Amino acid sequence: MNTVPLIRLRGITRVYGTGSAEVQALRGIDLDIDAGEFVAIMGPSGSGKSTVMNILGCLDTPTAGAYLFRGAAVHRLDRDQRALLRRAHLGFVFQGFNLLPRTTAQENVELPLLYRGEAAAARHQAAREALAAVGLAGREGHTPAELSGGQQQRVAIARALVTHPTVLLADEPTGNLDTQRGREIMDLLSGLNRDRGITVLMVTHEPDMAAYARRTVRFVDGLIESDQVQEPTPAAAAETR
């Protein structure tokens, strides 16, 4: 039986600046995440939660410590190798959607495949399938201005899904949405985790949204304050039945 976690952090530190301007964003983090988990990462501003997500997403590198992904030493990879790992295994969803404004939903979703150099026919088919998976079949030709906030976030999730990622990293995915649209997005993320086995790591300030996860890791002052397994929120639990 394979007992190696999907993600393992050991002694991770991140220091910005030097001398009197030095800031210790992370102070020695140990964290294991198994394949198929749904983990909410919480904490006040400046606690280190966004820094650890940037390191997990290969958007930043630790000052010291080890980051292992499927046993491979990510902390030893160069920039190009980290970019390859991102493209092969990681999908990203942001609070601000980050969609190109004058580009259709389908074209936005195709972008990661365009960067990979995939043929047009394959891109079109994959983008349509990804949009259908998030409930936007028939909206392929709409631009962001023609979509609601919740629909724009669904396009962003489809863009993350189109590469079939191992891990979905969601940074405040409901932060720009009202409560109802936020719950719809959380139901969608829960379903992707449950039905496709995608590992979901989500930064959030909102306890109601963190309650959809099965585990919550709380950061304070660059350290992990608590790491708790929990039953998902009743709305999410109803989805699993």
Q: Is pLDDT of 224 > 90?
A: yes
Topology at the third CATH level for domain 36-50+79-240: Rossmann fold (3.40.50)
- pTM equals 0.90
Q: Is pLDDT of 96 > 90?
A: no
Quick one: average pLDDT of 55-62? 95
Separation in Å, CA 190 to CA 109, 139, 149, 225, 238: 20, 23, 19, 25, 11
Measured over all CA atoms, what is the biggest interatomic distance in the chain, rounded to whole angstroms?
A: 56
Report which secondary-structure segment, H or E, holds 115.
Answer: helix 105-116
Q: Output the pLDDT for position 235.
A: 54
Residue-range domain boundaries for the chain = 36-50+79-240
Quick one: average pLDDT of 126-139? 94
Quick one: average pLDDT of 91-110? 92
230-241 pLDDT tens trace = 887 655 444 444
pLDDT-derived band at 10, boundaries 50, 70, 90: very high
